[in-house]
Protein backbone atom coordinates (compact mmCIF):
# COMPACT_ATOMS: atom_id res chain seq x y z
CA UNK A 1 0.00 0.00 0.00
CA UNK A 2 1.43 3.38 -1.04
CA UNK A 3 1.21 6.06 1.62
CA UNK A 4 2.05 9.76 1.65
CA UNK A 5 5.63 10.57 2.70
CA UNK A 6 6.15 10.69 6.46
CA UNK A 7 2.80 9.08 7.33
CA UNK A 8 2.46 8.59 11.11
CA UNK A 9 2.15 5.02 12.42
CA UNK A 10 -1.58 5.18 13.13
CA UNK A 11 -2.27 6.34 9.55
CA UNK A 12 -0.32 3.34 8.28
CA UNK A 13 -2.26 1.09 10.66
CA UNK A 14 -5.54 2.50 9.38
CA UNK A 15 -4.48 1.82 5.79
CA UNK A 16 -3.59 -1.78 6.62
CA UNK A 17 -6.89 -2.25 8.46
CA UNK A 18 -8.83 -0.75 5.56
CA UNK A 19 -6.95 -2.93 3.07
CA UNK A 20 -8.00 -6.01 4.98
CA UNK A 21 -11.60 -4.76 5.07
CA UNK A 22 -11.61 -4.25 1.31
CA UNK A 23 -10.20 -7.74 0.72
CA UNK A 24 -12.89 -9.17 2.98
CA UNK A 25 -15.52 -7.19 1.09
CA UNK A 26 -14.33 -8.68 -2.21
CA UNK A 27 -14.36 -12.17 -0.68
CA UNK A 28 -17.87 -11.55 0.67
CA UNK A 29 -19.07 -10.46 -2.77
CA UNK A 30 -17.51 -13.55 -4.37
CA UNK A 31 -19.17 -15.80 -1.78
CA UNK A 32 -22.53 -14.14 -2.39
CA UNK A 33 -22.20 -14.70 -6.13
CA UNK A 34 -21.32 -18.33 -5.57
CA UNK A 35 -24.23 -18.90 -3.19
CA UNK A 36 -26.83 -16.93 -5.13
CA UNK A 37 -25.33 -15.78 -8.42
CA UNK A 38 -26.83 -12.74 -10.11
CA UNK A 39 -26.99 -12.89 -13.91
CA UNK A 40 -24.84 -9.77 -14.30
CA UNK A 41 -22.61 -10.30 -11.26
CA UNK A 42 -24.37 -7.63 -9.26
CA UNK A 43 -23.08 -4.08 -8.79
CA UNK A 44 -19.43 -5.17 -8.65
CA UNK A 45 -19.76 -7.29 -11.78
CA UNK A 46 -21.33 -4.42 -13.67
CA UNK A 47 -18.53 -2.12 -12.62
CA UNK A 48 -15.92 -4.57 -13.89
CA UNK A 49 -17.62 -4.90 -17.25
CA UNK A 50 -17.97 -1.11 -17.50
CA UNK A 51 -14.24 -0.75 -16.84
CA UNK A 52 -13.35 -3.24 -19.58
CA UNK A 53 -15.70 -1.50 -22.01
CA UNK A 54 -14.15 1.87 -21.17
CA UNK A 55 -10.68 0.53 -21.83
CA UNK A 56 -11.93 -0.81 -25.15
CA UNK A 57 -13.21 2.62 -26.15
CA UNK A 58 -9.95 4.22 -25.04
CA UNK A 59 -7.92 1.83 -27.19
CA UNK A 60 -10.29 2.28 -30.12
CA UNK A 61 -9.97 6.03 -29.85
CA UNK A 62 -6.20 5.76 -29.92
CA UNK A 63 -6.23 3.47 -32.96
CA UNK A 64 -8.62 5.73 -34.86
CA UNK A 65 -6.87 9.00 -34.02
CA UNK A 66 -4.79 9.05 -37.17
CA UNK A 67 -1.12 9.78 -37.38
CA UNK A 68 -1.06 11.70 -34.10
CA UNK A 69 -2.15 8.61 -32.16
CA UNK A 70 -3.49 10.98 -29.49
CA UNK A 71 -6.93 9.62 -28.49
CA UNK A 72 -8.39 12.90 -27.29
CA UNK A 73 -10.21 13.66 -24.08
CA UNK A 74 -12.20 10.45 -23.73
CA UNK A 75 -11.77 10.66 -19.94
CA UNK A 76 -11.65 14.03 -18.16
CA UNK A 77 -10.17 14.86 -14.79
CA UNK A 78 -12.61 15.93 -12.05
CA UNK A 79 -13.29 19.69 -11.78
CA UNK A 80 -10.44 21.47 -10.00
CA UNK A 81 -7.91 18.68 -10.63
CA UNK A 82 -4.96 20.43 -12.30
CA UNK A 83 -2.48 17.53 -12.24
CA UNK A 84 -2.87 16.81 -15.96
CA UNK A 85 -3.73 20.28 -17.26
CA UNK A 86 -0.35 20.90 -18.94
CA UNK A 87 -0.18 20.46 -22.71
CA UNK A 88 2.61 17.93 -22.36
CA UNK A 89 0.05 15.37 -21.21
CA UNK A 90 -2.18 15.68 -24.27
CA UNK A 91 0.55 16.23 -26.89
CA UNK A 92 1.96 12.73 -26.48
CA UNK A 93 -0.06 9.54 -27.14
CA UNK A 94 1.88 7.65 -24.46
CA UNK A 95 1.35 10.17 -21.68
CA UNK A 96 -2.20 10.87 -22.77
CA UNK A 97 -2.97 7.17 -22.53
CA UNK A 98 -1.32 6.97 -19.08
CA UNK A 99 -3.37 9.93 -17.90
CA UNK A 100 -6.69 8.60 -19.14
CA UNK A 101 -6.04 5.02 -18.01
CA UNK A 102 -5.21 6.33 -14.54
CA UNK A 103 -8.43 8.35 -14.40
CA UNK A 104 -10.44 5.31 -15.49
CA UNK A 105 -8.88 3.19 -12.75
CA UNK A 106 -9.40 5.91 -10.14
CA UNK A 107 -13.07 6.23 -11.04
CA UNK A 108 -13.53 2.44 -10.97
CA UNK A 109 -11.94 2.07 -7.53
CA UNK A 110 -14.03 4.88 -6.10
CA UNK A 111 -17.21 3.25 -7.37
CA UNK A 112 -16.05 -0.17 -6.20
CA UNK A 113 -15.82 1.03 -2.59
CA UNK A 114 -19.48 2.06 -2.70
CA UNK A 115 -20.56 -1.23 -4.30
CA UNK A 116 -18.74 -3.71 -2.04
CA UNK A 117 -20.64 -5.37 0.83
CA UNK A 118 -18.69 -3.84 3.72
CA UNK A 119 -19.40 -3.98 7.46
CA UNK A 120 -21.05 -0.66 8.23
CA UNK A 121 -20.43 2.99 7.39
CA UNK A 122 -17.31 3.35 9.53
CA UNK A 123 -15.58 0.55 7.62
CA UNK A 124 -16.68 2.05 4.32
CA UNK A 125 -15.37 5.45 5.42
CA UNK A 126 -11.97 3.89 6.20
CA UNK A 127 -11.84 2.00 2.90
CA UNK A 128 -12.70 5.22 1.03
CA UNK A 129 -9.77 6.90 2.74
CA UNK A 130 -7.41 4.01 1.92
CA UNK A 131 -8.42 3.89 -1.74
CA UNK A 132 -8.05 7.65 -2.10
CA UNK A 133 -4.57 7.51 -0.56
CA UNK A 134 -3.52 4.74 -2.95
CA UNK A 135 -5.06 6.37 -6.00
CA UNK A 136 -3.52 9.77 -5.30
CA UNK A 137 -0.10 8.30 -4.45
CA UNK A 138 0.06 6.23 -7.66
CA UNK A 139 -0.84 9.05 -10.06
CA UNK A 140 1.55 9.12 -13.04
CA UNK A 141 2.18 12.79 -12.30
CA UNK A 142 4.06 11.80 -9.12
CA UNK A 143 6.87 9.92 -10.86
CA UNK A 144 9.72 11.15 -13.05
CA UNK A 145 9.35 8.30 -15.55
CA UNK A 146 5.65 8.98 -16.18
CA UNK A 147 5.45 12.77 -15.89
CA UNK A 148 6.15 14.54 -19.21
CA UNK A 149 6.36 17.91 -17.48
CA UNK A 150 9.37 16.66 -15.50
CA UNK A 151 11.14 15.79 -18.77
CA UNK A 152 10.08 19.03 -20.44
CA UNK A 153 11.34 21.12 -17.52
CA UNK A 154 14.64 19.23 -17.38
CA UNK A 155 15.27 19.82 -21.10
CA UNK A 156 14.32 23.50 -20.90
CA UNK A 157 16.69 24.10 -17.96
CA UNK A 158 19.44 21.78 -19.21
CA UNK A 159 19.12 19.66 -16.10
CA UNK A 160 19.11 22.55 -13.61
CA UNK A 161 15.58 21.67 -12.46
CA UNK A 162 16.79 18.19 -11.48
CA UNK A 163 19.64 19.67 -9.44
CA UNK A 164 17.26 22.07 -7.69
CA UNK A 165 14.78 19.28 -7.05
CA UNK A 166 17.43 17.13 -5.36
CA UNK A 167 18.53 20.14 -3.28
CA UNK A 168 14.91 20.77 -2.25
CA UNK A 169 14.47 17.12 -1.29
CA UNK A 170 17.62 17.09 0.85
CA UNK A 171 16.59 20.32 2.58
CA UNK A 172 13.14 18.91 3.38
CA UNK A 173 14.61 15.63 4.64
CA UNK A 174 16.75 17.63 7.05
CA UNK A 175 13.71 19.70 8.09
CA UNK A 176 11.53 16.60 8.50
CA UNK A 177 8.57 17.84 6.44
CA UNK A 178 7.57 18.94 2.97
CA UNK A 179 7.93 22.67 2.27
CA UNK A 180 4.61 24.18 1.23
CA UNK A 181 5.64 27.82 1.19
CA UNK A 182 8.64 30.11 1.30
CA UNK A 183 9.07 30.08 5.06
CA UNK A 184 11.73 32.81 4.97
CA UNK A 185 9.02 35.29 3.94
CA UNK A 186 7.21 35.15 7.30
CA UNK A 187 7.91 35.66 10.97
CA UNK A 188 5.37 35.45 13.77
CA UNK A 189 5.24 38.84 15.45
CA UNK A 190 6.70 40.67 12.45
CA UNK A 191 4.31 40.15 9.53
CA UNK A 192 2.10 37.44 11.04
CA UNK A 193 0.21 37.84 14.34
CA UNK A 194 1.28 41.48 14.26
CA UNK A 195 -1.88 43.22 15.51
CA UNK A 196 -0.65 45.48 18.36
CA UNK A 197 -1.38 44.31 21.88
CA UNK A 198 0.11 42.78 25.01
CA UNK A 199 0.01 39.59 27.05
CA UNK A 200 -1.82 40.52 30.26
CA UNK A 201 -2.11 37.11 31.93
CA UNK A 202 -0.51 33.69 31.64
CA UNK A 203 -0.49 30.29 33.29
CA UNK A 204 0.91 26.89 32.38
CA UNK A 205 -1.69 26.38 29.67
CA UNK A 206 -2.26 29.71 27.90
CA UNK A 207 -1.41 33.37 27.54
CA UNK A 208 -4.15 35.99 27.39
CA UNK A 209 -3.57 38.72 24.81
CA UNK A 210 -5.37 42.05 24.90
CA UNK A 211 -5.26 44.02 21.66
CA UNK A 212 -4.78 47.79 21.53
CA UNK A 213 -7.86 49.75 20.44
CA UNK A 214 -8.02 51.18 16.92
CA UNK A 215 -11.07 53.38 17.53
CA UNK A 216 -11.75 56.21 19.97
CA UNK A 217 -14.90 54.54 21.25
CA UNK A 218 -15.37 50.84 21.98
CA UNK A 219 -18.19 48.55 23.02
CA UNK A 220 -18.53 48.25 26.78
CA UNK A 221 -18.46 44.44 26.60
CA UNK A 222 -15.18 42.95 25.37
CA UNK A 223 -14.83 40.00 23.01
CA UNK A 224 -12.78 36.92 23.92
CA UNK A 225 -11.65 34.62 21.09
CA UNK A 226 -10.92 30.94 21.80
CA UNK A 227 -9.00 29.34 18.92
CA UNK A 228 -8.43 25.60 18.46
CA UNK A 229 -5.72 24.12 20.67
CA UNK A 230 -4.65 21.79 17.85
CA UNK A 231 -3.37 24.80 15.87
CA UNK A 232 -1.89 28.18 16.71
CA UNK A 233 -4.17 31.16 17.17
CA UNK A 234 -2.70 33.34 14.46
CA UNK A 235 -4.86 31.78 11.77
CA UNK A 236 -7.20 34.51 13.07
CA UNK A 237 -4.44 37.14 12.89
CA UNK A 238 -2.45 36.56 9.72
CA UNK A 239 -1.45 39.75 7.89
CA UNK A 240 -3.12 43.12 8.27
CA UNK A 241 -5.29 42.70 5.15
CA UNK A 242 -6.71 39.30 6.18
CA UNK A 243 -6.61 39.44 9.98
CA UNK A 244 -9.97 38.64 11.56
CA UNK A 245 -8.59 39.95 14.86
CA UNK A 246 -7.71 43.32 13.37
CA UNK A 247 -11.11 43.52 11.68
CA UNK A 248 -12.87 42.89 15.00
CA UNK A 249 -10.76 45.57 16.69
CA UNK A 250 -11.49 48.03 13.87
CA UNK A 251 -15.22 47.50 14.46
CA UNK A 252 -14.83 49.06 17.91
CA UNK A 253 -14.37 45.95 20.05
CA UNK A 254 -11.96 45.38 22.91
CA UNK A 255 -10.58 42.04 21.76
CA UNK A 256 -8.83 39.40 23.85
CA UNK A 257 -7.22 36.24 22.48
CA UNK A 258 -6.55 32.98 24.31
CA UNK A 259 -3.16 31.78 23.02
CA UNK A 260 -2.76 28.09 23.84
CA UNK A 261 0.64 26.81 24.83
CA UNK A 262 2.47 24.46 22.48
CA UNK A 263 2.69 21.88 25.23
CA UNK A 264 5.85 19.99 26.12
CA UNK A 265 6.45 16.81 28.09
CA UNK A 266 5.86 18.66 31.38
CA UNK A 267 2.26 19.35 30.30
CA UNK A 268 1.66 15.83 29.02
CA UNK A 269 -0.67 15.09 31.95
CA UNK A 270 -3.26 17.75 31.05
CA UNK A 271 -6.78 16.61 30.23
CA UNK A 272 -10.06 17.99 28.92
CA UNK A 273 -11.09 19.39 32.30
CA UNK A 274 -7.80 21.30 32.53
CA UNK A 275 -8.48 22.98 29.19
CA UNK A 276 -11.97 23.91 30.41
CA UNK A 277 -11.15 25.01 33.97
CA UNK A 278 -7.62 26.36 33.69
CA UNK A 279 -8.05 27.41 30.08
CA UNK A 280 -11.38 28.77 28.86
CA UNK A 281 -13.07 29.52 32.20
CA UNK A 282 -9.88 31.10 33.58
CA UNK A 283 -9.58 33.32 30.50
CA UNK A 284 -13.22 34.40 30.80
CA UNK A 285 -12.73 35.30 34.47
CA UNK A 286 -9.57 37.29 33.71
CA UNK A 287 -11.27 39.26 30.93
CA UNK A 288 -14.22 40.04 33.20
CA UNK A 289 -11.86 41.19 35.94
CA UNK A 290 -9.78 43.41 33.64
CA UNK A 291 -12.85 45.06 32.11
CA UNK A 292 -14.81 45.08 35.38
CA UNK A 293 -17.90 43.60 33.78
CA UNK A 294 -20.12 40.63 34.56
CA UNK A 295 -20.76 39.40 31.01
CA UNK A 296 -18.58 39.36 27.92
CA UNK A 297 -18.99 38.26 24.30
CA UNK A 298 -17.17 35.06 23.36
CA UNK A 299 -16.11 33.39 20.11
CA UNK A 300 -14.81 29.88 19.46
CA UNK A 301 -13.27 28.41 16.32
CA UNK A 302 -13.31 24.67 15.52
CA UNK A 303 -12.17 22.68 18.60
CA UNK A 304 -11.99 26.03 20.39
CA UNK A 305 -15.73 26.31 19.85
CA UNK A 306 -16.30 22.84 21.31
CA UNK A 307 -14.21 23.77 24.36
CA UNK A 308 -15.94 27.13 24.71
CA UNK A 309 -19.45 25.65 24.50
CA UNK A 310 -18.48 22.99 27.05
CA UNK A 311 -17.07 25.65 29.36
CA UNK A 312 -20.26 27.70 29.12
CA UNK A 313 -22.31 24.58 29.94
CA UNK A 314 -20.11 24.05 33.01
CA UNK A 315 -20.53 27.69 34.04
CA UNK A 316 -24.32 27.51 33.67
CA UNK A 317 -24.42 24.31 35.76
CA UNK A 318 -22.61 26.27 38.47
CA UNK A 319 -25.12 29.10 38.31
CA UNK A 320 -22.86 31.52 36.42
CA UNK A 321 -23.81 33.36 33.21
CA UNK A 322 -20.52 34.79 31.94
CA UNK A 323 -21.42 35.30 28.26
CA UNK A 324 -23.81 37.79 26.67
CA UNK A 325 -23.39 36.25 23.21
CA UNK A 326 -21.67 33.25 21.63
CA UNK A 327 -20.07 32.98 18.18
CA UNK A 328 -19.11 29.54 16.84
CA UNK A 329 -17.02 29.22 13.68
CA UNK A 330 -16.95 25.79 11.96
CA UNK A 331 -17.59 23.95 15.23
CA UNK A 332 -18.95 20.48 16.01
CA UNK A 333 -21.05 19.84 19.10
CA UNK A 334 -23.01 16.95 17.60
CA UNK A 335 -20.45 14.52 16.13
CA UNK A 336 -22.91 12.27 14.29
CA UNK A 337 -21.37 13.57 11.04
CA UNK A 338 -17.70 13.82 12.03
CA UNK A 339 -16.20 14.61 8.66
CA UNK A 340 -13.14 12.87 7.30
CA UNK A 341 -11.42 12.85 10.68
CA UNK A 342 -14.00 10.23 11.65
CA UNK A 343 -12.30 7.58 9.53
CA UNK A 344 -9.40 7.59 12.02
CA UNK A 345 -11.63 7.03 15.04
CA UNK A 346 -12.91 3.59 15.99
CA UNK A 347 -12.81 1.57 19.20
CA UNK A 348 -9.54 -0.10 18.29
CA UNK A 349 -7.66 3.10 17.45
CA UNK A 350 -8.97 4.98 20.50
CA UNK A 351 -8.14 2.09 22.83
CA UNK A 352 -4.63 2.01 21.39
CA UNK A 353 -4.20 5.72 22.10
CA UNK A 354 -5.61 5.32 25.60
CA UNK A 355 -2.98 2.67 26.29
CA UNK A 356 -0.08 4.63 24.82
CA UNK A 357 -0.73 8.24 25.95
CA UNK A 358 -4.00 8.18 27.89
CA UNK A 359 -2.26 8.40 31.27
CA UNK A 360 0.32 10.92 30.11
CA UNK A 361 2.45 11.80 27.12
CA UNK A 362 2.15 13.81 23.94
CA UNK A 363 0.78 13.47 20.44
CA UNK A 364 3.53 15.25 18.48
CA UNK A 365 2.37 18.10 16.33
CA UNK A 366 4.17 16.60 13.37
CA UNK A 367 1.91 13.53 13.49
CA UNK A 368 -1.20 15.68 13.78
CA UNK A 369 -0.13 17.80 10.81
CA UNK A 370 0.48 14.65 8.74
CA UNK A 371 -3.04 13.42 9.48
CA UNK A 372 -4.64 16.65 8.29
CA UNK A 373 -2.42 16.73 5.21
CA UNK A 374 -3.39 13.16 4.34
CA UNK A 375 -7.04 14.21 4.20
CA UNK A 376 -6.15 16.39 1.21
CA UNK A 377 -3.08 14.58 -0.08
CA UNK A 378 -3.27 15.93 -3.64
CA UNK A 379 -3.39 19.54 -2.47
CA UNK A 380 -1.16 19.34 0.62
CA UNK A 381 1.34 16.61 -0.26
CA UNK A 382 1.66 15.45 -3.84
CA UNK A 383 1.53 18.80 -5.58
CA UNK A 384 4.58 19.82 -3.53
CA UNK A 385 6.35 16.52 -4.20
CA UNK A 386 5.91 17.19 -7.91
CA UNK A 387 6.65 20.92 -7.78
CA UNK A 388 9.53 20.89 -5.29
CA UNK A 389 11.31 17.65 -6.20
CA UNK A 390 10.42 16.77 -9.82
CA UNK A 391 10.26 20.28 -11.25
CA UNK A 392 12.71 21.90 -8.85
CA UNK A 393 10.40 24.83 -8.10
CA UNK A 394 10.32 26.83 -4.89
CA UNK A 395 6.79 27.19 -3.47
CA UNK A 396 5.59 30.81 -3.32
CA UNK A 397 5.06 32.69 -0.07
CA UNK A 398 1.62 31.92 1.35
CA UNK A 399 0.75 32.93 4.92
CA UNK A 400 -1.96 30.31 5.42
CA UNK A 401 0.39 27.46 4.45
CA UNK A 402 3.10 28.84 6.73
CA UNK A 403 0.58 28.61 9.57
CA UNK A 404 -0.43 25.13 8.42
CA UNK A 405 3.20 23.97 8.79
CA UNK A 406 3.53 25.46 12.30
CA UNK A 407 2.23 22.40 14.13
CA UNK A 408 1.25 22.03 17.80
CA UNK A 409 1.60 19.16 20.27
CA UNK A 410 -1.39 17.81 22.23
CA UNK A 411 -1.43 16.21 25.71
CA UNK A 412 -2.37 12.54 25.51
CA UNK A 413 -5.10 12.57 28.22
CA UNK A 414 -6.81 15.51 26.52
CA UNK A 415 -6.64 13.80 23.12
CA UNK A 416 -8.06 10.43 24.16
CA UNK A 417 -10.90 11.99 26.19
CA UNK A 418 -11.82 14.14 23.19
CA UNK A 419 -11.69 11.24 20.73
CA UNK A 420 -13.75 8.88 22.87
CA UNK A 421 -16.38 11.26 24.18
CA UNK A 422 -16.84 13.37 21.07
CA UNK A 423 -15.98 11.43 17.91
CA UNK A 424 -16.50 7.85 19.09
CA UNK A 425 -19.46 8.06 21.50
CA UNK A 426 -20.90 11.52 20.66
CA UNK A 427 -21.66 12.17 24.32
CA UNK A 428 -21.72 15.98 24.39
CA UNK A 429 -25.03 16.14 22.56
CA UNK A 430 -26.82 14.19 25.32
CA UNK A 431 -27.87 16.46 28.25
CA UNK A 432 -26.21 15.46 31.50
CA UNK A 433 -24.24 12.52 30.11
CA UNK A 434 -20.79 14.07 30.47
CA UNK A 435 -19.19 14.95 33.79
CA UNK A 436 -16.95 17.95 33.13
CA UNK A 437 -15.19 19.78 35.93
CA UNK A 438 -17.41 18.08 38.50
CA UNK A 439 -20.78 19.00 36.96
CA UNK A 440 -23.14 17.45 34.41
CA UNK A 441 -23.04 19.44 31.20
CA UNK A 442 -26.15 20.36 29.22
CA UNK A 443 -25.74 22.39 26.02
CA UNK A 444 -29.41 23.29 26.22
CA UNK A 445 -28.51 25.62 29.08
CA UNK A 446 -26.06 27.48 26.83
CA UNK A 447 -28.93 29.83 26.06
CA UNK A 448 -27.38 33.15 25.11
CA UNK A 449 -27.88 34.37 21.49
CA UNK A 450 -25.51 32.56 19.16
CA UNK A 451 -24.05 33.24 15.72
CA UNK A 452 -23.06 29.94 14.08
CA UNK A 453 -20.97 29.85 10.90
CA UNK A 454 -20.51 26.70 8.83
CA UNK A 455 -18.74 26.45 5.48
CA UNK A 456 -20.13 24.57 2.53
CA UNK A 457 -17.00 22.64 1.47
CA UNK A 458 -15.68 21.92 4.96
CA UNK A 459 -14.18 18.40 5.21
CA UNK A 460 -13.25 18.77 8.90
CA UNK A 461 -16.61 20.09 10.15
CA UNK A 462 -19.24 19.17 7.53
CA UNK A 463 -21.84 21.89 7.40
CA UNK A 464 -24.64 19.40 8.02
CA UNK A 465 -22.90 18.55 11.30
CA UNK A 466 -22.54 22.21 12.23
CA UNK A 467 -26.23 22.71 11.44
CA UNK A 468 -27.18 19.82 13.75
CA UNK A 469 -24.82 21.20 16.40
CA UNK A 470 -26.49 24.61 16.38
CA UNK A 471 -29.82 22.98 17.25
CA UNK A 472 -28.39 21.74 20.56
CA UNK A 473 -27.97 25.29 21.89
CA UNK A 474 -30.70 26.69 24.06
CA UNK A 475 -30.78 30.28 22.81
CA UNK A 476 -31.73 32.06 19.60
CA UNK A 477 -29.35 30.97 16.83
CA UNK A 478 -28.37 32.90 13.72
CA UNK A 479 -27.03 30.27 11.30
CA UNK A 480 -24.91 31.39 8.34
CA UNK A 481 -23.40 29.15 5.67
CA UNK A 482 -20.22 30.41 4.07
CA UNK A 483 -18.59 29.36 0.82
CA UNK A 484 -15.34 27.41 0.58
CA UNK A 485 -13.74 25.21 3.24
CA UNK A 486 -12.74 24.97 6.88
CA UNK A 487 -10.11 27.72 6.77
CA UNK A 488 -10.66 29.75 3.59
CA UNK A 489 -14.36 30.02 4.38
CA UNK A 490 -13.58 31.60 7.75
CA UNK A 491 -10.65 33.78 6.70
CA UNK A 492 -12.60 35.70 4.07
CA UNK A 493 -11.78 39.41 4.49
CA UNK A 494 -14.61 41.84 3.95
CA UNK A 495 -12.45 44.15 1.81
CA UNK A 496 -11.70 41.38 -0.68
CA UNK A 497 -15.41 41.02 -1.53
CA UNK A 498 -14.95 37.37 -2.49
CA UNK A 499 -17.15 34.30 -2.24
CA UNK A 500 -20.70 34.16 -0.93
CA UNK A 501 -22.64 33.27 2.16
CA UNK A 502 -26.17 32.01 2.63
CA UNK A 503 -28.82 33.16 5.11
CA UNK A 504 -32.37 31.99 5.74
CA UNK A 505 -34.84 34.39 7.40
CA UNK A 506 -36.79 31.42 8.75
CA UNK A 507 -33.80 30.42 10.85
CA UNK A 508 -33.56 26.82 11.96
CA UNK A 509 -37.24 25.99 11.66
CA UNK A 510 -36.50 23.44 8.94
CA UNK A 511 -35.72 19.98 10.28
CA UNK A 512 -33.09 19.21 7.66
CA UNK A 513 -30.07 21.24 6.50
CA UNK A 514 -30.91 20.80 2.81
CA UNK A 515 -34.38 22.24 3.49
CA UNK A 516 -32.70 25.21 5.15
CA UNK A 517 -30.42 25.69 2.12
CA UNK A 518 -33.32 25.38 -0.33
CA UNK A 519 -34.99 28.34 1.33
CA UNK A 520 -31.79 30.35 1.83
CA UNK A 521 -30.70 33.53 0.08
CA UNK A 522 -27.21 33.73 -1.41
CA UNK A 523 -25.43 36.95 -0.50
CA UNK A 524 -22.29 37.95 -2.36
CA UNK A 525 -19.21 38.78 -0.31
CA UNK A 526 -17.81 37.99 3.11
CA UNK A 527 -19.86 37.06 6.16
CA UNK A 528 -17.65 39.29 8.36
CA UNK A 529 -19.82 42.46 8.10
CA UNK A 530 -22.97 40.47 8.89
CA UNK A 531 -21.31 39.07 12.02
CA UNK A 532 -19.99 42.51 13.07
CA UNK A 533 -23.50 43.97 12.80
CA UNK A 534 -24.94 41.05 14.81
CA UNK A 535 -22.27 41.37 17.53
CA UNK A 536 -22.85 45.10 17.90
CA UNK A 537 -26.27 44.42 19.45
CA UNK A 538 -24.56 42.72 22.42
CA UNK A 539 -21.71 45.15 22.98
CA UNK A 540 -23.54 47.45 25.37
CA UNK A 541 -23.07 51.19 25.41
CA UNK A 542 -20.10 52.88 23.75
CA UNK A 543 -17.29 53.95 26.05
CA UNK A 544 -13.94 55.64 25.62
CA UNK A 545 -11.23 53.25 24.49
CA UNK A 546 -8.83 52.22 27.22
CA UNK A 547 -5.53 54.06 27.08
CA UNK A 548 -3.65 51.22 28.79
CA UNK A 549 -3.79 47.46 28.34
CA UNK A 550 -4.54 45.27 31.32
CA UNK A 551 -4.94 46.92 34.73
CA UNK A 552 -3.06 47.29 38.00
CA UNK A 553 -3.49 43.59 38.76
CA UNK A 554 -2.79 42.56 35.15
CA UNK A 555 0.11 44.67 33.91
CA UNK A 556 1.45 43.84 30.44
CA UNK A 557 3.86 40.90 30.60
CA UNK A 558 5.23 41.16 27.06
CA UNK A 559 4.11 42.49 23.67
CA UNK A 560 1.69 40.48 21.55
CA UNK A 561 1.77 37.85 20.20
CA UNK A 562 3.69 36.54 23.22
CA UNK A 563 6.24 33.76 23.49
CA UNK A 564 3.84 30.77 23.72
CA UNK A 565 2.80 31.06 20.08
CA UNK A 566 6.42 31.20 18.94
CA UNK A 567 7.33 27.85 20.48
CA UNK A 568 7.81 25.25 17.76
CA UNK A 569 6.71 21.63 18.01
Please, where are the H alpha helices in 205-343? Answer: 244-250, 272-274, 282-291, 303-317
**CA–CA distances in Å: residue 350 to residues 16, 229, 356, 379, 510:** 16, 19, 10, 28, 35
Per-residue model confidence as pLDDT tens digits over 326-377: 999 999 999 999 988 888 888 988 999 999 999 999 999 888 888 888 888 8
Predicted local distance difference test score (pLDDT) of residue 8: 56
| 328 vs 97, more confident | 328
Identify the active-site residue in 291, 302, 343, 437: 302
Are residues 400 and 157 in contact, defined by beta-carbon separation less than 8 angstroms?
no
| CATH class in words for 205-363+409-566 | alpha beta
Is-cis flag, bond preceding 561, omega within 30? yes
Domain range annotation of the chain: 9-138, 205-363+409-566
Grade residue 1 by pLDDT with cuts at 50, 70 and 90. very low
Span 467-486, average pLDDT: 96
For the segment 219-244, what is each residue's pLDDT rounded down to a tens digit?
Answer: 999 999 999 999 999 999 999 999 99
The per-residue pLDDT of the chain, averaged, comes to 91
Strand, helix or coil for residue 205: coil
Instruction: State yes or no: pLDDT of 6 exceeds 90.
Output: no
What's the distance, CA 162 to chain centroid?
33
Give the pLDDT confidence score for residue 228 in this predicted structure.
97
Range from 29-38, 68-77, 277-286 that averages highest in pLDDT? 277-286
Q: What is the pTM of this model?
A: 0.92
* Most confident by average pLDDT, 80-84, 119-123, 325-329: 325-329
Q: What is the pLDDT of residue 355?
A: 93
Higher pLDDT, 29 or 454: 454
Span 192-211, average pLDDT:
98
pLDDT greater than 70 at residue 72? no
Assess whether 343 carries a catalytic annotation.
no
Amino acid sequence: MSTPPDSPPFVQQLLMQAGQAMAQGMARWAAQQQAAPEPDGGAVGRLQRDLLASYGRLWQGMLQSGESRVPGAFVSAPPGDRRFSGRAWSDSPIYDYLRQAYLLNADYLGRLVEALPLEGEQERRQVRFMVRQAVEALAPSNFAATNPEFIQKALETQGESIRRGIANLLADLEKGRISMTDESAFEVGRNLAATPGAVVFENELFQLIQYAPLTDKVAQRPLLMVPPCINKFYILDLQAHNSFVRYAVEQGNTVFMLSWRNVKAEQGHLGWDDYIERGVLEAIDQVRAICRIKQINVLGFCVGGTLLSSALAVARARGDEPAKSLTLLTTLLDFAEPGEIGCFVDEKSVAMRETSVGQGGLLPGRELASVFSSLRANELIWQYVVGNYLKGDTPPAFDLLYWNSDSTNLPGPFLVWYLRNMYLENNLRVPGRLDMCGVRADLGRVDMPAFVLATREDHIVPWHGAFASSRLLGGEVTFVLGASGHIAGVINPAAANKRSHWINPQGLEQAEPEQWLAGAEEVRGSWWPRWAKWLKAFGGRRIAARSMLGDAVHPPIEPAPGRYVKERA
